[in-house]
Structure 1
């Protein structure tokens, strides 16, 4: 995906939609409103690639955490507490 993208206003989008869509098929295009970036148009391949790379972290509770993860968490909390005591 190209880092350099065209930029158009929302009024450009209504006047030049065909040209803007054609450009968005080649690389992401920013749509601005009142001179602020508001939207990005990108082709489906780039969109799907972004979705595959998206953050897959999930939230849980101490009850659902694996023993190994809980041990790591407790060690991190202990290490943080010790570093706070040393800095006082």
Structure 2
């Protein structure tokens, strides 16, 4: 029996694979094992969309960060450090 919409246990998967696959064609389905999410089944279009999005990500060094973004980052770190220090006092 499913725990909630779109979530099934591994034993559900072996008993109701056809129903679960049909549901996964409509929206992502989570497969749990010992009440913990372990797998996600999704249709090929969603998978390909996710893969294309991941291909657009790039890795760069902090030196390549635009100055404006670096300043925001630096301010955020300083604010966090000050709040952390105040919390320890």
Q: TM-score range by the shorter chain?
A: 0.5 to 0.7
Aligned equivalent of 2:50: 50
Which structure has the larger Rg over C-alpha atoms? 1
> Which digits, 9 at most, give the CA deviation of each residue in 1:1-29, with x for residues without a partner?
xxx95100000001111110011001100
Contiguous gaps of at least 5 residues in structure 1 = none
> What SS is found at the alignment partner of 2:47?
helix
Q: Which has the higher helix share?
A: 2
Q: Give the structure-2-normalised TM-score.
A: 0.61
* Contact persistence 1:5–1:27 (CA under 8 A): no
Residues 14-63 of structure 1: per-residue CA shift (max 9 Å, x gap): 11111100110011000000001111000000011111122511246x7x
- Contact 1:28/1:43, CA 8 A, preserved across alignment: yes
Which structure would you say has the larger RCO, counting Cα contacts within 8 Å and 6 or more residues apart? 1
CA distance in 2, matches of 1:30, 1:24: 9
Tell me how many residue pairs correspond in the alignment. Answer: 72
| Structure 1 consecutive aligned stretches of length 4 or more whose deviation exceeds 6 Å | none
Kindly report which structure 2 residues correspond to 1:2-21, keeping only aligned pairs within 5 A, or say none.
6-21=6-21
Q: Secondary structure at the match of 1:52?
A: helix
* TM, length-normalised to structure 1: 0.61
Distance in 2, matches of 1:15 and 1:27, equals: 20
5+ residue gaps in structure 2? 83-89
| 3-state SS, counterpart of residue 59 of structure 2 | coil
